[in-house]
Structure formats: structure tokens, C-alpha cells
Amino acid sequence: MSRGTPKPLSGFPEFLPAQREVERQVIEALSRTFELHGFANIETRAVEPLDQLLRKGETSKEVYLLRRLHEESEEGHAGMGLHFDLTVPFARYVLENAGKLEFPFRRYQIQKVWRGERPQDGRFREFVQADIDIVGQGELPFHHDVEVTRVMLHALGTLTSPDSIGLPGFTLQVNNRKLIQGFYLGLGISEDDGGVENTMRVIDKLDKMPEAKIRELLRDEAGLSDEQVDQCLALAAISAEDDSFADQVRELGVTHELLDEGLDELSALVRACAPLGNDRVRIRAELKIARGLDYYTGTVFETRLDGHDNLGSICSGGRYDALADDGRTTYPGVGISLGLSRVLVPLVNKGLLVADRTVPSVVLVALPDEESRVASDAIADSLRANGVPCEVAASAQKFGKQIRYAERRGIPFVWFTDRDGNHQVKDIRSGEQVDADPQAWLPPTNDLKPTIVRTDNQ
Amino acid sequence: MSRGTPKPLSGFPEFLPAQREVERQVIEALSRTFELHGFANIETRAVEPLDQLLRKGETSKEVYLLRRLHEESEEGHAGMGLHFDLTVPFARYVLENAGKLEFPFRRYQIQKVWRGERPQDGRFREFVQADIDIVGQGELPFHHDVEVTRVMLHALGTLTSPDSIGLPGFTLQVNNRKLIQGFYLGLGISEDDGGVENTMRVIDKLDKMPEAKIRELLRDEAGLSDEQVDQCLALAAISAEDDSFADQVRELGVTHELLDEGLDELSALVRACAPLGNDRVRIRAELKIARGLDYYTGTVFETRLDGHDNLGSICSGGRYDALADDGRTTYPGVGISLGLSRVLVPLVNKGLLVADRTVPSVVLVALPDEESRVASDAIADSLRANGVPCEVAASAQKFGKQIRYAERRGIPFVWFTDRDGNHQVKDIRSGEQVDADPQAWLPPTNDLKPTIVRTDNQ
């Protein structure tokens, strides 16, 4: 038994039923789209051995460790931690099951992840991510980079459709690591002393720092000359909705084999994906995107939610030429991870998105008196047999009260049966009441499941 | 990047894609049934404050504690733990949101739970539970006990249907705490010195110990006389598929007000639910069922899976008159929890249940040469627009190899387009190949999603 009045735990968002319905419909729409593209669903366990989790240097401080309450040895302490993303567990899953999987392996995974950080604005300790990845065994042709981009654009297009969830629009920003690295190398920045890596790390902070500070860091930390700084900033300023970015890059006069490769890949990606854009979902070559983490080796993605720049990138990823390696075989991959909670929790908490009812029930079967419960249950079962979610009134109150019971939950129909066994169903939104047969009656299709209501003008 | 060849973690089951599909279809069928009965879905966070988790005495040793990797204070140590069931978090959720919920509140919750125990046969450290509960504010009439039983019978009936997942049959065993307690009190067993509670605890072990040992414990630990022992064992031996159990109880000659109340409730429950039974799902009054945990106050449930007695009860629950209490209001509840992993993991791991393909794709769009990829993608998009999951061949191998690519994944159809733009689709199971229009072609409905194959004779 639970006692007292508990308070919410900061960083661990939870939804009321009508809010959870928004999340469920988003997950359903994503799953549906991913499956239309042949992606299989998997789930991995919540825990990973700590040595796996700590490989990805930067995030190690955010890991939650597990310990059994009455653990006697200290061993349990350091043995396992909760996963902080879905990429590390997926890479482990691929290696563990490589002999049983068919490659290229397309999978999607929608699960909670945990990060033990101090919860700040928009930061969660528990949140849901939706990841798609394609992994090859030994090799993975570039066309799969195009494929994952198309799939995510399709998915975001579905979520933003006014006929579906009606999320705000998205801009998927793409770049290519080969392009940046090749450009830096062509500028004479050295790879050996960490110059390329440091330059990329500083450029990645362009959105967070004033340009003067960036210039200073490029000079002092990456060791760039003033001319190199100018060129790097010129590259980072390039942005286009089509492949015209390539000409802009070439006008900077830098040449390198790797730059050419990157330009070719990014151009091909933008050409293949731009036609999928519309007024809600756009793809854009954005040459300042670098992604801090160091394992990306080609295409990189970030995504902005229109009108919610403060959320940062809500959908990121890229190509990694070595997602996993078992000593004999390398598994290259390309994938994108959508921060579901990062998008939904703020919108839902502000009341911008909510379901129009708090229960799945389309019909409340009214109860004339407690003795009629068996008959009302039978009516409800007839409706359910036709796929109509419904519930029988909890008590035999006056019909006016039963109607208000339905209203409070957003249930659109109330079913009445008189003493002679005549059935009528009332749409309590319009007040219209008509004869109906419990074996045959169906509500309008739109009423079968809760509708997500979007209110931008709150 | 993940390296080496990781080994599975004992107690943390994971599925391959075709196995996960079984679990997904089970979850989908359960969710669908619960929603047909008006149950709203919620999810609660994975963690609870430790003081909430430790209330339920017996399981405290199984809790996983969380600690941040670089936690400086010892505070983080004891602050939070992973939930070990869905009842404790639900009770907390009800109290936390009581002002925003409508009562009676029907919810279902399908989530992972964690127990830090040593993994033994059939014991998991991470597993999925599917819970339904109805909670009232202040009061909750008995008819809701009947309701949850009917809902779970409906759900189990769906899972066992050969047209659906085809799980083995179930027997839902019911009893009533008032009946047992009233009987013991009527026998003169005292409530004050723990006699009733100790008797119940010993009787709960009937399946695990020889009768002689039970007799000894009833005498020594519960302080019963030989006659009382005989009567308690006689009560526990009663079992019936209808309300005839009540006459058998009355023949034992014990009377008590609470016994009458329990007999009335259990009889009403069995009468209302027995008609929902069939050759796969049965309900049975089983008077030895007591449930060890002490918060049940009326109806109690256990469930056995046919042919898998070793799994123990895979679906348990009951009525609790005080699920939660905020000092002003008490929230009574009645619910059942289905141990999804407990049922599925053994069946799936033995190969008894598996999906007939490893990918959602119904169609593999063949690729004549790499230059045709754009055209093949367009065909795939046409099929997807009609709701047909498909994928384009990963490389332009010979058609024979592309067909084998589909076969290995269980994809039933391969789509061919010749140089003149004529389309044909081949059912690779039958070999039949017919003309088809990518804008209009649909597979047989049965092929739209993977079918669960049940193989009992492995």
C-alpha cells in the first residue's frame, strides 16, 4: 500500500492517460512507418556491463550503476549500469547475435534510456528514444545512408501531418564528415596533432558561442592560422535546401580527395531526399553540423523542431564505419535516433497536445438499475465483438449523471436500453439519439480511437 | 563501438527479431482487449523512492538500487531503486494524480520490472508484466471484481485462440480471502495471535510440501488442533468449475458471517465468469489459493498454464481494500498481473512459438542493376502508400540470389520489373508469378503481418 501524497521526481516525466495516448499514437505511427520500410523491431535489456557503457568517454559520468540492496560483495557495484542510449546496446546485440541475423540488418528500437545527470531545463533522467539503424557485415553501401534519411523523413512527415498527430514541422540538417575533414586537410590543417579533430570540436560549438570566441578557440586550441579560421567559418556558413551547396564549397578553392568524396555523398543524399520534403518537413545541407561524438565517419544528421530551437537537435545520427567489431568482422552502420520525450514532454506539458478522451471507451452503456448489470454487460460484449471499445456505467445513477460521467471522460456515445429491450444510442456532443442494434452498430471510424487535439493558441 | 564477442547476461532475456514479433503480437492482442473494456494505458517511471519499494516487506531484498557513477554523497545510494512490480508504482501514481483522475479508474500497464535475485530456473532479473487494475476513490463495488476477471478471461481467450497467437490453455483459479478467514474464524482459530495469518501462510505452501509437513506446520507454527488441521485441509481440497463448491464448504459445518460473505462473492464471481470459459480457458474455484502477500482482502487469483505447471502461477492478483491512502481518502482496488515474460520466454526459447519471417517486409522489390535503384525505390513507395511493408534488394545480384535473399528472411513476395516497365510479382512459396500494378496490388490480408507459428512437436 502506498501512503501520503508523493511528489513527482524531477527528470522522470510521467503522463496522465490522455497525455500518454499522444505518446502511444506517436509510437504507433513511427513503428508503422519503420515497418513499411522493412525495419524489424527489437528490444534490448535495460542494463549493460559497465565496461561497454564506459567506452563512449564523454557520457560515462551520466551512467546509473545498479546494486542489489543486500549485495555483500562490492563487485555488484561496478558490474552493470542502465543504458544511456540505444546505440551501445544495439552494437552489443549485433555482435552477440551476428550468427543469427541476416545482413544488412534493419532494426528499429523504441525504449527508455537513463542518464544520471542533474535535471535542467529540457534534460531528463529517463526518456524514450526511437532509433533506426541499418548495419552491414563487412560492408554497407552508401545508398543505405540515403535510405535511413528517407525513412526518417517519411516518419517525421507522418507525425506532422494534420490528419495524424499534427506535430510542429521539422528541419533535418545533414552534413558529411568526409566533406569537413577533407576540407580541413585541403586547408593544410594536420590530422596527426589533433588539428582536424579539435577544429571539428570547436565548430560544433558555433550555435553556443559568439563568433569571436570561436575564432579565438580555433586559433588557440586547434592551432589554425587566421586564413584557415576564415575558411573554416566560411564553410560552416554554407547552407542550402538543394545540392547548390557543392558549388559554394568549390568556390572556396580548397581541394582534397576526401572533400570530393564527401561532396559527392552529400549531394547524392540531398538530391534523393529533397523531393520528400514539404511545408512541414524539410531537409537541408547545413555545413556547420559536425556532431561532437567521434565515431561518425560520413553522413551526419541533426534536426530542429520548428518554433522550438531551445530543444536543440531532437533527432540526430549518422554513418559509423565501425559500429561493432568482433576481431574478425567489422559491422558498419548508419542510423538516426529521435528523442521522443525531448519532443513530446514539453509539448504535452504545455497542453499543446492532448487526446480528446481519457479512456479508450467510445460508448458508455448506461445502467437503468443494478439488476440490469448482466444485460448491460451483454450489450457491451456485443459492441466489443465488433471492435467497439466500451464500458458499462459504474453505478445506476440518474441518466443525467451517467451522461455527465461520460462527458467528464470524453466518451462520445451513451447507450440506452428501455424495459422493452429497445436500444438507442446518443451522441452526447450533438445530442442526437437514434435507434441502434448492439449486434451491428458502429461509431464513425474517426471516433474509434481518441483523436489528438493540437492547441497552438493556449 | 562494441568489440569482442559479448555473452548473454543471465536473467536478462532478449529476443531475436522473429521472437520479438511473438511478444509484440501478444502485447498488441492484450492492449486491444484491455482497451475494448475501457482500460486506459499508462506507463510509470522505472524508479521509485526506496521507502516506497521497501514497504512490501518480503521482496525488499530483490530491489536494485541506483547510484550515479560519480556520485559524491552516499545519499544517491539509497535514494532510488528500480520497481520490482507495477502495483507499487501504480499506487503511488494514483495518489500523486488523484485530483486529475476520474474514478473508478481503469488502467492497464505493460512494462518491464526488475528483481535483483539470483537467476534460477524460470526466474528473471528483468521481465515484462501486463497489469490491469480498477481503482475506486473511497469505495469500489464488488462487481468490479467480476469485471477484471472477465477482462482477463477475454484476454487469455484471445491469446490462446488458434486464429491469434495460439498459446497453450490457461486455468484461472479463484478464491476469496473472506471465505478462508471466515472459515478459520468459524473454526475458532484466533486472529489476535496471528493464528489466521499463519494458517493462511502454511496453506499457501500446499503445492510445495508434502501433506505431513503441512500438518506439522499447522500444528506447530499456527497452533492448530488436529481437528482444525483436518478442517483446514478439507477446505483447501475443495475445487469446482461452478458454484457447487459452496455446498461442499457448507457440508464441513463451519459457520461465520465473514465466511458467508466470502461464499456469496466467490459464487457470484464463478457464476458470472464460467460462461466465458471454453476448452482453452477455464475458471475454477480453488479453495487452497491464498496468495502469500498480506494486502489482499477478498477475491484472489492464480493462473496455471496447461502443460507448464513448473512455471507456477503466471497470472495473479486480487482485491485490496486499501491499495493507497493519502490520509484523507482510501483507494480500494482489484487487479490481475500477467507475467508475460514468464509465459513467453520459455515457449519462445524452446522454439515452440516464432514468427514466420524475421522482417516486417511482405515484398522484396528486386533490383535489376544499381542504376535502377531510384525506380525500385519508387515502386516500393507506391506499395507502402497502400500499406504494404517492403524493402528494395540491398544489391543487384542475380535474381536467383535475390529470391534466396527473400527466402532467408521469410519474405513471401518478390517484385520484378522488366526493361519495358512491365511489373510482375512472384509468390516464392508457390512459385506463382502474375502481372501486378504497383499502385494497386495488395497481398492477401493474412500476409500483411508475420504469422505466429506454433510448433508443439519439436
CB contact under 8 A, A320 and B1: yes
Render B102-152 in DSSP notation, one character per residue: -SSEEEEEEEEEE--SPP-TT--SEEEEEEEEEE-SS---THHHHHHHHHH
Q: Output the pLDDT for position B280.
A: 94
**Enclosing H/E stretch for A82:** strand A80-82
Is residue B84 assigned to a domain? yes
Residues A397 and A349 in one domain: no
Q: Output the pLDDT for position A457.
A: 45
Residues B220 and B315 in one domain: yes
Is residue B4 assigned to a domain? no
Number of other CB atoms surrounding residue B75 within 10 Å: 9
Highest mean pLDDT among B6-10, B188-192, B355-359: B355-359
Q: Is A107 on the interface with B (CB under 8 A)?
A: yes
**Residues in contact with A204: Cβ distance below 8 Å, sequence separation at least 6, in sequence order:** A290, A291, A292
Q: Output the pLDDT for position B314.
A: 93
Q: Output the pLDDT for position A311.
A: 87
Query: In a mutagenesis test of the B interface, which of A62, A69, A401 is the best target, namely the one with the most B β-carbons within 10 Å?
Result: A69
| Grid cell digits, residue B321 | 481494500
Answer whether residue A75 shows pLDDT above 80.
Answer: no
When pLDDT is cut at 50, 70 and 90, the band that residue A358 belongs to is very high
Q: Is A445 exposed, middle or buried (0-12, 13-18, 19+ CB in 10 A)?
A: exposed
Q: Output the pLDDT for position B50.
A: 86
CB contact under 8 A, B2 and A52: yes
User: Looking at CA atoms only, how far is residue B259 from chain A in angstroms?
Assistant: 24
CB contact under 8 A, A47 and B12: yes
| Grid cell digits, residue B355 | 514468427
Apex CA B443: angle with CA B437 and CA B446, to 5°?
170
Is residue A255 assigned to a domain? yes
Residues A321 and A382 in one domain: no
Mean pLDDT of B96-105: 97
Q: Say which range, A313-322, B69-78, B316-325, B368-377, has the weakest mean pLDDT.
A: B69-78
For residue A112, list chain B residues with Cβ-Cβ distance below 8 A. Answer: 46
Closest CA to A414 of A430, A402, A426: A426
Q: Where do we find the cell 445530442?
A: A431
Which residues pair with residue B80 across a beta bridge? B49
Is residue B11 assigned to a domain? no
Closest CA to A72 of B70, B76, B61: B61
Is residue A10 assigned to a domain? no
Which amino acid, B247? D
Residues A127 and A229 in one domain: yes
Q: Say which range, A97-106, B31-40, B64-73, B169-178, has the weakest mean pLDDT.
A: B64-73
Mean pLDDT of A276-288: 94
Residues B25 and B124 in one domain: yes
Q: Output the pLDDT for position B168.
A: 92
Query: In a mutagenesis test of the A interface, which of B10, B16, B36 is the best target, namely the one with the most A β-carbons within 10 Å?
Result: B36
CB contact under 8 A, B295 and A63: no
- Of the candidates B62, B70, B102, the beta carbon closest to that of A408 is on B102
Identify the CATH number of the domain in which residue B150 sits: 3.30.930.10
Q: Output the pLDDT for position B73.
A: 55
Residues A92 and A198 in one domain: yes
Please tell me whether the peptide bond between B104 and the residue prior to it is cis, using omega within 30 degrees of 0.
yes
CB contact under 8 A, A391 and B65: no
When pLDDT is cut at 50, 70 and 90, the band that residue A149 belongs to is very high
Mean pLDDT of A215-241: 95
Give the whole-angstrom CA distance, residue A375 versus residue A352: 41
Apex CA B223: angle with CA B218 and CA B226, to 5°?
65
When pLDDT is cut at 50, 70 and 90, the band that residue B458 belongs to is very low
Known binding residue A133? Answer is yes
Query: In a mutagenesis test of the B interface, which of A7, A10, A35, A36 is the best target, namely the one with the most B β-carbons within 10 Å?
Result: A36
Tell me: the pLDDT tens digits for A156-212?
999 999 888 889 999 999 999 999 999 999 999 988 888 898 999 999 899 889 999
Give the whole-angstrom CA distance, residue B145 versus residue B133: 10
- Cα A270 to Cα A266, A267, A285, A311, A315: the distances in Å are 6, 5, 7, 24, 17
A-facing residues of B in 155-184 (CB < 8 A) are: none
CB contact under 8 A, A38 and B361: yes
Tell me: the pLDDT tens digits for B287-346?
999 887 668 999 999 999 998 888 889 999 999 998 899 999 999 999 999 999 999 999
Render A247-258 in DSSP notation, one character per residue: HHHHHTT---HH
Q: Output the pLDDT for position B119.
A: 67
pLDDT above 90 as % of chain A: 80
Question: Closest residue of B to A404, CA-based?
Answer: B102
Mean pLDDT of A333-358: 95
Give the whole-angstrom CA distance, residue A416 versus residue A392: 11
Is residue A1 assigned to a domain? no
Residues A403 and A346 in one domain: no
Question: Closest residue of A to B31, CA-based?
Answer: A360
Give the whole-angstrom CA distance, residue B228 versus residue A384: 48
Encode A312-343: b = buried (16+ Cβ within 10 Å), e = exposed: bbbbbbbbbbebbbbeeebbbbbbbbbbbbbb
Closest CA to B272 of B121, B97, B429, B148: B148
| Grid cell digits, residue A416 | 440506452
Choose one of A300, A329, A354: the last residue of a domain.
A354
Query: What range defines the domain where residue B396 resides?
Result: 363-454
Reported ipTM: the value is 0.95
Known binding residue B33? Answer is no
Residues A181 and A80 in one domain: yes
Choose one of B336, B354, B372: the last residue of a domain.
B354
Q: What phi, psi does B303 have (nearest 5°)?
A: -145, 135
Answer whether residue B71 shows pLDDT above 90.
Answer: no
A-facing residues of B in 275-314 (CB < 8 A) are: 295
Residues A432 and A382 in one domain: yes
Is residue A7 assigned to a domain? no
Average pLDDT, chain B: 92
For residue B388, list chain A residues with Cβ-Cβ distance below 8 A. Answer: 36
Is residue A172 assigned to a domain? yes
Mean pLDDT of B149-165: 93
Largest CA distance in chain B: 93
Mean pLDDT of A412-427: 96
Average pLDDT, chain A: 92
Residues B290 and B379 in one domain: no
Give the whole-angstrom CA distance, residue A86 versus residue B2: 12
Answer whether residue A356 shows pLDDT above 80.
Answer: yes
Tally of domains in chain A: 2
Q: Is A123 on the interface with B (CB under 8 A)?
A: no
Answer whether residue B3 shows pLDDT above 90.
Answer: no
User: Looking at CA atoms only, how far is residue B62 from chain A in angstroms?
Assistant: 7
Residues A116 and A224 in one domain: yes
Answer whether residue B77 shows pLDDT above 50.
Answer: no
Q: Is A43 on the interface with B (CB under 8 A)?
A: yes
Q: Output the pLDDT for position A61.
A: 59
User: Looking at CA atoms only, how far is residue B5 from chain A in angstroms?
Assistant: 6
Choose one of B305, B337, B354: the last residue of a domain.
B354
Q: Output the pLDDT for position A139.
A: 96
pLDDT above 90 as % of chain B: 79
CB contact under 8 A, A2 and B52: yes
Q: Output the pLDDT for position A60.
A: 55
Q: Output the pLDDT for position B52.
A: 81
Q: Is A350 on the interface with B (CB under 8 A)?
A: no
Identify the CATH number of the domain in which residue A367 sits: 3.40.50.800
Q: Output the pLDDT for position B5.
A: 80
Q: Output the pLDDT for position A122.
A: 60
Closest CA to B373 of B354, B395, B389: B395
- Of the candidates A35, A96, A359, the beta carbon closest to that of B360 is on A35
Residues A316 and A404 in one domain: no
Q: Is A69 on the interface with B (CB under 8 A)?
A: yes
